[in-house]
Amino acid sequence: MKQLFRTANIYMILGLVSGLYARELTHLNHFEGDTPLDTLHTHLLALGMLFFLVVIALEKLFALTESRLFKWFFLLYNGGLILTVAVMTLRGTLTVLDAAPQGAADTTLAWTAGFGHIVLTVGLIFFFHALEHRIKASKEAAKDTEHAETATA
């Protein structure tokens, strides 16, 4: 649970700092246009902080971390999100600085961002499988408790 709280807290800090970074970078460079930096703040707060706050609640209810799939979810989801956000930051910064990548560099960034999204998706698949496993285990434990109470009555 402590690890989940720290993760949510780190994403909260990154989300707030990224909003400040985007605002100041565009302001200092007199940039008026769309850039991936515009949604960086929201990605970090929603997919990072808010998502992990929900995971904390689900951990409390279903002991998610007891699932063998949880570690895979945690590593893949965070890896995918960090990679995606890193590419957004790089592409947004280059756009504001009027140095948008061209040709092979642009293609490489696009593929890297796509790979980050794929890893994030695989992490979500592991999350839902872990959650399903723990919900089933929770139901089984409730049935066993009910049967034990009935047998002793």
Q: Tens digits of per-residue pLDDT, 39-77?
A: 999 999 999 999 999 999 999 999 999 999 999 999 999
> Comparing C-alpha atoms, which of 17, 86, 7 is closest to residue 48?
7
* Alpha carbon 97 to its chain's center: 27
Q: Tens digits of per-residue pLDDT, 105-124?
A: 889 999 999 999 999 999 99
**What is the CA angle 86-53-136, rounded to 5?**
110
pLDDT at 99: 86
Residue 135 per-residue DSSP state: H
Residue with tokens 């600085």, as numbered in its chain:
97
What tokens were used for 39? 């949604």
pLDDT at 146: 64
Question: Which of 20-34, 44-58, 91-105 has the highest mean predicted lDDT (pLDDT)?
Answer: 44-58
Residue 98 per-residue DSSP state: T
Residue with tokens 């904390």, as numbered in its chain:
56
